[in-house]
Amino acid sequence: MARPIWKGHISFGLVNVPVVLYPAERRADLSFKLIDSRNAARVKYERVNEESGEEVPWDKIVKGYEFDGGNYVLLSEEELEQASVEMTRTIEIEQFVDVDEIDPMYFDRPYYLVPDKGGEKGYVLLREAMAASSKIGISKVVIRARQSLAALMPRDESLILELLRFPQELRPAADYDFPTDSPLKYKISKKEIAMAGQLIKGMTGAWKPNTYHDEYRDALMKMIESKIASGETEAIESNGEEPEAESGTINFADALKKSLARATRSPKKQAVPQKRRRKPATRKKRAG
C-alpha cells in the first residue's frame, strides 16, 4: 500500500470529514543511473556546501527564499506548514459544478481520499450525495508547500481528489501558430472529410483502458534482458528492417481509402480517446 501524503479534513458546509490523502497513480518508469561512458563509473549528484565543499545531510537542508541578491529567508518544512495550518489541513469545497464544464487540459494528477478514524459516516454521506447529483466539488488544497485547485469527485466506493491547473499555468493557444484557414485553403475536399469521418466511425469502440499498456517499456525491457543474457556492453543491432522513407507530396485521399479498406477487413479496434474527461462514475449496486 502506498504511503499517505497528507492528513486533514474535507470541509463541506458545516460538515468536516477527516481524511487521508494517498496517490492514485503508479509510475512504471524504468530507473536509469548516469554512467561515464569512458570507464563505466557512476555519475553522482551530491548535495555539496559551495563554501566548505562538504556534503550536506538531508536533515540539515532547509528551503531559502532569496529576497535581495544573496540574502535569504530560511524556512523549515515545519514553518512552511505552520504558515497557514488551516490551509494545509483542509479541503474546503467552494462550489459544485458539472464535470463537463471543466476543460480536460485543467486535469493534472489524481489522489485517493480515504476516511480517517471516525470519518466514515461523513465520507459516505458526501459520496452518496455527490453521486446522486452527478456533481463534483471545486476546492483548493495545499500539498507540499504548494496550493492547487482541485476537483473532488465520487468514483465507485471512493472519493477522488484530482488536482487541477490554475488558468495561469496553461499557455494560451494564441501563443502558437495553428492553421486557421478553411479546409479549402489546404486543398481538403468534402469527399476527403467524409472518408475521414467513415474511418473514425469504423475505428470507434468502447473505451477499455485495460487493453492498453506501455509497449515502449516492454520493448526497452526486452532489450535490457537481451543485453544481460548475452553479456554484451555495446548496443545490440536490430534485425528488423527499417521502413523506407516516403518522398513527395502525401495523397490524403489515397491514404484514407487504404485506411478505410484496412478497417473494413480487420475487426474493430478500440479508439484511443482524444480527451480525458472525467465523469462521476455510477456506483455498482451492492447485493443484499
**Least confidently predicted of 12-16, 179-183, 259-263, 275-279:** 275-279
pTM exceeds 0.95: no
pLDDT band at 232 (very low <50, low <70, confident <90, very high): low
pLDDT band at 111 (very low <50, low <70, confident <90, very high): very high
Closest residue by Cα to residue 65 from 43, 46, 86, 80: 80
Q: Are 146 and 83 in contact, with CB atoms under 8 Å apart? A: no
Closest residue by Cα to residue 12 from 91, 85, 87: 91
Q: Are 33 and 27 in contact, with CB atoms under 8 Å apart? A: no
pLDDT computed for residue 269 by the predictor: 46
Q: 244 or 134, which is more confident?
A: 134
Q: Is the pLDDT of residue 263 over 80?
A: no
Domains and CATH numbers, the chain: 6-25+81-168 (2.40.290.10), 179-222+254-272 (no CATH)
pLDDT computed for residue 151 by the predictor: 94
| Half-sphere exposure of residue 286: CA atoms within 13 angstroms, side-chain side | 3
Which 8-state DSSP code applies to residue 110?
E
Please compute the mean of the pLDDT values over residues 63-87 and round it to a whole number: 76
**Least confidently predicted of 161-165, 168-172, 223-227:** 223-227
pLDDT computed for residue 288 by the predictor: 41
pLDDT computed for residue 124 by the predictor: 93
Q: Are 192 and 256 in contact, with CB atoms under 8 Å apart? A: yes
| Half-sphere exposure of residue 40: CA atoms within 13 angstroms, side-chain side | 2
Partnered with residue 209 across adjacent β-strands are none
pLDDT in tens, 113-136: 999 998 999 899 999 999 999 999
Cα 135 to chain centroid, rounded:
22
Q: 287 or 175, which is more confident?
A: 175
Is the CA virtual torsion 229, 235, 236, 240 positive or negative?
positive
Partnered with residue 138 across adjacent β-strands are 95, 151
Please compute the mean of the pLDDT values over residues 9-23 and round it to a whole number: 85
pLDDT computed for residue 242 by the predictor: 47
Q: Is the pLDDT of residue 72 over 50?
A: yes
Q: Is the pLDDT of residue 76 over 90?
A: no
SS3 160: strand
In whole angstroms, give the CA distance from residue 153 to residue 50.
47
Mean pLDDT comparison of 174-178, 232-236, 248-252, highest-scoring range = 174-178
Which 8-state DSSP code applies to residue 176?
S
Burial class (CB in 10 A: 0-12, 13-18, 19+), 42: exposed
Q: Is the pLDDT of residue 19 over 90?
A: yes
pLDDT band at 155 (very low <50, low <70, confident <90, very high): very high
Q: Name the grid cell of 221.
A: 525491457
**What is the share, in percent, of the chain residues with pLDDT greater than 70?**
78
Query: Strands, E, within the chain: which ranges?
Result: 6-12, 15-23, 35-36, 41-42, 63-68, 71-75, 90-97, 107-115, 136-143, 146-155, 158-164
pLDDT band at 218 (very low <50, low <70, confident <90, very high): confident
In whole angstroms, give the CA distance from residue 236 to residue 9.
54
Please compute the mean of the pLDDT values over residues 69-93 and round it to a whole number: 77
Q: 195 or 35, which is more confident?
A: 195
pLDDT computed for residue 273 by the predictor: 40
SS3 230: helix
Backbone angles phi, psi at 107, to 5 degrees: -70, 135
**Least confidently predicted of 50-59, 185-194, 208-217:** 208-217
Q: 288 or 248, which is more confident?
A: 248
**What is the share, in percent, of the chain residues with pLDDT greater than 90?**
21
